[in-house]
């Protein structure tokens, strides 16, 4: 399969999409930071089911990384990514802008979303969601898709983007696609590439512990006790540190004191130097 065309400027992207729209195409969009894996390819398939033409963006967004985080070493593999998208099929256009295209000299806008961005990731990565919201808003305004797909793997991010799209009246449906997992249940992530073999074994326990937390809740264990037990189990499994194991309202992420609402259990923990996140419906 031929590699999809790659455009680097917003002007070129808009010109191509205007032509598609004149032909009546419904545009779908998958924003990524590249280093593509099967999880991303499943986002493309989900989008293909909801649109006539699919745009994938590949942009490692500097504003969502803190100075001490992995922006510099984040894998940048545009050629391999384009080949993966070609082999999988379903991508019609790749948008791979430079940092200068997305953040030209003098760029001074920042989008801060309240609501679901409070707590959890924000307690540990305070800069993260304003970086994500700002770049996603800019990408959505560049592509103007009918539908954009975000993985449930980054569950809080999905809710933040949904909140932003609703609040700003963006004409894009935000679709949340299910997590794709390795055979041992580890949620697929570009950062899994950092894991050394021993760490990889430990990483596979994150989803096992989340399932145990859910089973304990279903057996009537109080939420606080189940969360504490989940944390303890992760440390015992070999995680170096646990940022949170939290049972939250599935659509607002508000803390819960009972399971009378749809709930989600979310966790973030470090194995070696690699920080992993995962979540499941309770
Ligand atoms: O989930 C990601 O890969 C990124 O946070 C996103 C949505 C592409 C924004 O940079």
Domains of the chain: 6-177 (3.40.50.620), 190-281 (3.30.1300.10)
> Residue 182 has what pLDDT?
98
Residues 218-227: what's their mean pLDDT? 98
Provide, rounded to the nearest whole percent, the portion of the chain with pLDDT above 90: 99
Lowest-pLDDT choice from 10-14, 41-45, 249-253, 258-262: 258-262
Instruction: State yes or no: is 218 an active-site residue.
Output: no
User: Which of 29, 30, 33 is the best mutation target for the ligand 1 pocket, counting ligand atoms within 8 Å of the beta carbon and taking the most?
Assistant: 33
Residues 151-161: what's their mean pLDDT? 98
- The model carries a pTM of 0.97
User: Which region, left, alpha or beta, applies to residue 58 given φ > 0 means left and ψ of -120 to 50 means alpha?
Assistant: beta
* Cα(57) to centroid(ligand 1), Å: 9
Residues 81-91: what's their mean pLDDT? 98
Q: Given pLDDT bands bounded at 50, 70 and 90, which one contains residue 39? A: very high
User: Which of 39, 136, 140, 145 is the best mutation target for the ligand 1 pocket, counting ligand atoms within 8 Å of the beta carbon and taking the most?
Assistant: 136
Give the Cα separation of 278 and 282 in Å (integer): 13
Q: Is 136 in the pocket of ligand 1 (CB under 6 A)?
A: yes
Q: pLDDT at residue 129 above 90? A: yes
Ligand 1, atom 1, lies closest to the CA of: 32
Q: Is 32 in the pocket of ligand 1 (CB under 6 A)?
A: yes
Q: pLDDT at residue 212 above 90? A: yes
Ligand 1, atom 3, lies closest to the CA of: 32
Give the Cα separation of 99 and 254 in Å (integer): 35
Q: Is 234 in the pocket of ligand 1 (CB under 6 A)?
A: no
Q: Is 154 in the pocket of ligand 1 (CB under 6 A)?
A: yes
> Residue 171 has what pLDDT?
96
Provide, rounded to the nearest whole percent, the portion of the chain with pLDDT above 70: 100
> Residue 1 has what pLDDT?
83
Annotated catalytic residue: which of 37, 40, 260, 261?
Answer: 40
- What are phi and psi for residue 124, nearest 5 degrees? -110, -25
What secondary structure letter does DSSP report for 261? S
Return the beta strands (E) in the chain as ranges.
Answer: 6-7, 27-32, 53-58, 93-95, 147-151, 173-177, 241-249, 263-271, 274-281
């Amino acid at each position: 399969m031929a590699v999809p065309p790659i455009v680097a400027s917003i002007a070129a992207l808009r010109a191509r999409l205007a032509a598609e729209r004149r032909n009546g195409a419904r545009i779908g969009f998958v924003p990524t930071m590249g280093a593509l894996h099967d999880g991303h390819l499943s986002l493309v398939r989900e989008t293909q089911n909801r649109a006539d033409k699919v745009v994938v963006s590949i942009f490692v967004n500097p504003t969502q990384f803190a100075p001490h985080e992995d922006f510099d070493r984040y894998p940048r593999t545009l050629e391999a990514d384009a080949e993966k998208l070609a082999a999988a099929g379903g991508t019609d256009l790749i948008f791979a802008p430079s940092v200068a295209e997305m953040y030209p000299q003098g760029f001074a806008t920042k989008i801060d979303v309240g609501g679901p961005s409070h707590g959890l990731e924000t307690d540990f990565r305070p800069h993260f969601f304003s970086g994500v919201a700002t770049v996603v808003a800019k990408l959505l305004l560049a592509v103007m898709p009918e539908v954009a797909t975000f993985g449930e793997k980054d569950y809080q991010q999905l809710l933040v983007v949904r909140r932003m799209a609703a609040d700003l009246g963006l004409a894009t449906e935000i679709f949340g696609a299910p997590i794709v997992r390795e055979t041992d249940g580890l949620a697929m992530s570009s950062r899994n590439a950092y894991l050394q073999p021993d760490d990889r074994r430990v990483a596979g326990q994150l989803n096992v512990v989340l399932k145990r937390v859910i089973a304990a809740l279903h057996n009537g264990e109080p939420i606080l006790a189940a969360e504490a037990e989940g944390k303890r189990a992760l440390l015992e499994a070999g995680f170096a540190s646990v940022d949170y194991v939290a049972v939250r309202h599935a659509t607002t992420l508000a803390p819960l004191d009972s399971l009378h609402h749809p709930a989600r259990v979310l966790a973030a923990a470090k194995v070696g130097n690699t920080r992993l996140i995962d979540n499941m419906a309770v």
